[in-house]
Amino acid sequence: MNCPVKSIHEHKLEIVQIGKMMYARRFIVAGDGNISVRLADDTILATPTALCKGMLAPDQIVKLDLAGKVLDGEYQPSSEIKMHLAAYQTRPDVKAVVHAHPPISTGFAVAGIPLDQLILAEMVVNFGAIPLAPYHSPSTKELAESVAEKVRCYDAVLMANHGVMTIGPDVYTAYHRMEMVEQFAVISLVAHTLGKMNTFSAQQLQDLVGIREKSGIGAQNPYHAQCPLPGQPECVRLTAPGAQNAAPPKPPEIEFLVNTITQAVLSALH
């Protein structure tokens, strides 16, 4: 039985809801971030520029085409809509894009560290890796192209000195992937602080890749299949399976930051 097609108003309500959730989680503040959805006719609904995404009304959502021309709405979309449009043009399977600045994963992006350590089963299965796109000025064609190159076969990307972008078959999936990226960043930071990251053995990694493929996320997805999977020899910037128990180096300024965050977290728990 086919599911009924959502109306434009229903899509707008979902975008508004996701904006509230992002704001409540402090993934965004003030006018940060943006959300978009691709409709069946290849038109796009997107959040407006400058307004707080946690306080939007459905009638403030903008409709535009894949070239970025506004078709309906009193507001203008964010100038960063170029990243969204590039993702849609790169992958026909993408139906929603979420961009935000969750603090811990954005901290990794600022530090120039991709979230590609093989230390958490759920992340290997769901993402394979979360790459880092090089820095380009916000709202530029160069940034859009850089991000599009990463989402060509990954579902989340860190943008150096900027933030995080996730994609999905619907807006809730794209948002939930943003939550998962931030959770993994927190776990990675804690493990880094403890000074020990136990990576998977070659056999354990092979098992996880098998789970990934059976779920339809891995090689069965024609887009994911274009990029190396964790554990493949050509896989770039992934921690090698033989690096168990190796602690990543900590430059003095990073160690100071980690210690400061750790003390703040411990204080909040008491």
| HSE-up (13 A, CA, CB side) for residue 220 | 9
| All domains of the chain in start order, with CATH | 1-270 (3.40.225.10)
d(CA 58, CA 109): 32
Q: What is the pLDDT of residues 248-257, one digit of tens each?
A: 444 445 555 5
More confident residue, 219 or 67: 67
The pLDDT value given to residue 263: 60
The pLDDT value given to residue 262: 56
The pLDDT value given to residue 238: 31
DSSP annotation of 47 reads: P
Closest by CA to 217, choosing from 148, 175, 154, 174, is: 154
Provide mean pLDDT across the span 130-155: 92
Is the pLDDT reported for residue 86 higher than 90?
A: yes
The pLDDT value given to residue 268: 47
Laid out side by side, the sheet with 96-100 consists of 70-72, 62-64, 44-46, 34-38, 96-100, 163-168, 156-159, 132-133
Is the pLDDT reported for residue 259 higher than 70?
A: no
From the list 10, 14, 80, 142, the catalytic residue is 80
For the chain, the average pLDDT equals 84
- Backbone dihedral region of 14: left (phi > 0), alpha (psi from -120 to 50 degrees) or beta? alpha
Instruction: Say if CB 87 and CB 97 are below 8 A apart.
Output: yes
E-assigned strands of the chain? 34-38, 44-46, 62-64, 70-72, 96-100, 132-133, 156-159, 163-168
Catalytic residue list contains 80: yes
Closest by CA to 127, choosing from 241, 190, 215, is: 215
Is the pLDDT reported for residue 119 higher than 60?
A: yes
Q: What is the pLDDT of residues 160-214, one digit of tens each?
A: 999 999 999 999 999 999 999 999 999 999 999 998 888 888 888 888 888 887 8
More confident residue, 5 or 15: 15
Q: What is the pLDDT of residues 211-248, one digit of tens each?
A: 887 876 655 466 666 666 554 544 433 333 333 333 44
SS3 141: helix
The pLDDT value given to residue 215: 76
The pLDDT value given to residue 258: 56
Distance in Å from the first CA to the final CA of the chain: 53
Range in 39-43, 106-110, 122-126 with the lowest mean pLDDT: 122-126
DSSP annotation of 229 reads: P
Range in 8-12, 20-24, 155-159, 222-226 with the lowest mean pLDDT: 222-226
Is the pLDDT reported for residue 112 higher than 70?
A: yes
